[in-house]
Amino acid sequence: MPSNFHRATLRRLFAPALLALAAVTAPASADDYPSKPIRLIVPFAPGGVTDTGARVVAERLGQRLGQQVVVDNRPGASGNIGTQMAATAAPDGYTLVVGFDGTLVINPHVYGKVPFDPVKDFAPVSKIGDAALIIVTHPSVPVKTFEELVAYSKSNPGGVSYGSAGTGSTPHLAGELLKMRTGANFVHVPYKGGGQAMADVVGGTLPMLYTAVAGAYPFVQKGQINAIAVSSSQRLASLPKVPTISEAGVPGFESVSWIGILAPAKTPQPIVDKLQRELNAVVQSPDIKDRLAALGITASGNTPAEFGQEIRSDLKRYAEIVKAANIKVD
């Protein structure tokens, strides 16, 4: 058995190692974070609503944190490529990703396999907001209301074709859910992005489009397309005369896209909490709210726990829709 002298000697010898181990295992402090620029991965090409909304937030977030938040566009595979990059990044708070409902809660169901786990591989920080969707038609379609559109689709043997940004996109699933709820004869036409779909409905080669409000708004204002209904829970301030689908005959119907920010799993909680506080301060700023609203995004920051619960809930909800509609991406 070691003597008191030996025990004291051992303590002196191992004290530095024990202190170093304690420093490693102690919770990370957010006091000196960030000390260098932060990379914010946007898993889509520049110019879309998700990318533009992320840039609005990134600029102000960088100002509050005292370090630049650099947007890094990494498009491909409907967001899977950039999202995987974030999932495998070092969990130190210097790589973040813009989470999109289509990537995190729809792709896992419509793709045979995705290269990340939307729950286990990420630490949710906060939601940025919800992007409303809208149904628009070319003026040649002889309808003015959603009820008339449903009736018109049923009266046509070939139905009414509607475009979306792609198979498995949020508008695609929203359209399928509407078919289930109304019996409408809507026929999905997938596009590789919303730009060409919008061009086709404005040009008259596509009768109907289900899309984000931001992309449709300028054409609605010019009278080039008709706004039939929005799928948010309330009417939009930018389009106050356009009813919600719930008002138009499908009670309780709501389908919106959301965007938010996540960190890799195992990012220290103090860093996640600091990011959440600063991000919520950003999205609640009146001028940022207005800039997001112009994109059709309603600012709605929340806590990491609330954001994580919404992701898990939407994973379950979309699994049921995808299964019922038999939607798969090869």
User: Which CATH number goes with the domain that contains 193?
Assistant: 3.40.190.10
| pLDDT recorded at residue 12 | 53
Per-residue model confidence as pLDDT tens digits over 121-148? 999 999 999 988 999 999 999 999 999 9
The per-residue pLDDT for 74 is 93
Domain-terminating residue out of 172, 196, 230: 230
The answer on pLDDT for 21 being more than 80 is no
In 3-state terms, what secondary structure has residue 175?
helix
Predicted pLDDT of residue 166: 84
Whether residue 27 is predicted with pLDDT greater than 70 in this model: the reply is no
- Assign 325 a pLDDT band (cuts: 50, 70, 90): confident
Residue with the bigger pLDDT between 182 and 191: it is 182
Is the predicted pLDDT of residue 23 greater than 70, yes or no? Answer: no
The segment with the largest mean pLDDT, out of 73-82, 167-176, 201-210, is 201-210
250 or 76, greater pLDDT = 250
Residue with structure tokens 């397309």? Answer: 225
Does 82 reside within a domain?
yes
Q: Find the CATH number of the domain harbouring 284.
A: 3.40.190.150
Please check whether residues 279 and 308 belong to one and the same domain.
yes
Mean pLDDT of 261-268: 98
Helices (H), the chain: 4-25, 49-65, 80-87, 101, 107-110, 146-155, 170-182, 194-203, 213-221, 269-283, 286-293, 304-325
Average confidence (pLDDT) over 77-99:
95
Q: Verify that 99 and 136 share a domain, yes or no.
A: no
- Minimum mean pLDDT range among 20-24, 108-112, 181-185, 276-280: 20-24
Exposed, middle or buried, 48 (CB in 10 Å: 0-12/13-18/19+)? buried
Q: Are residues 57 and 147 in the same domain?
A: no
Q: Report angle CA 297, 298, 299 to the nearest 5 degrees.
A: 110
Domains held by the chain: number: 2
| Residue 123: inside a domain | yes
| 24-28, 47-51, 53-57: least confident range | 24-28
Average pLDDT over residues 202-216: 93
Say whether both 121 and 143 belong to one domain.
no
Give the pLDDT score at 76: 86
Q: In this structure, is residue 226 part of a structural domain?
A: yes
Contact 134, 216 (CB under 8 A): yes
What pLDDT shows up at residue 194? 77
Same-domain pairing of 59 and 199:
no
CA distance 132 to 230: 7
- Verify that 114 and 141 share a domain, yes or no: no
pLDDT category of residue 22 using cuts at 50, 70 and 90: very low
**Last residue in a domain, options 195, 230, 265:** 230
CB 275 within 8 A of CB 125: yes
Q: pLDDT higher for 227 or 52?
A: 227
Domain membership of residue 88 (yes or no) is yes
Q: Sign of torsion, CA 82 36 289 309?
A: positive
In a domain, 57, yes or no: yes
pLDDT digits (tens, 9 = 90+) for 52-74: 899 999 999 999 999 999 999 99
* 55 in Cβ contact with 48 (< 8 Å): no
The residue from 165, 196, 230 where one domain ends is 230
Domain span at residue 184 reads 132-230
Per-residue pLDDT at 3: 52
Are 122 and 163 found together in one domain? no
Judge whether residue 301 has pLDDT over 50. Answer: yes
Alpha carbons 202 and 189: distance in angstroms, whole number: 15
Give the gyration radius of the chain's Cα atoms.
24
70 and 218 both lie in a single domain: no
Same domain for 124 and 175: no
Query: Does 10 reside within a domain?
Result: no
pLDDT at 25: 40
Among 87, 57, 52, CA closest to 69: 57
Q: What is the mean pLDDT of residues 240-257?
A: 93
Mark whether 42 and 65 lie in a shared domain: yes
145 located within any domain: yes
160-164 and 208-212 strand pairing: parallel
Same-domain check for residues 46 and 126: yes
- The answer as to whether 58 is a domain residue is yes
Mean of pLDDT values over 154-177: 92
Is-contact 50 282, C-beta < 8 A?
no
Residue 209 has pLDDT above 70, yes or no: yes
Q: Give the closest residue to 48 by CA, choosing from 176, 197, 167, 177.
A: 197
The reply to whether 171 and 211 lie within a common domain is: yes
Mean of the per-residue pLDDT values of the chain: 89
Q: Which of 69-83, 246-260, 270-284, 293-307 has the highest mean pLDDT?
A: 270-284
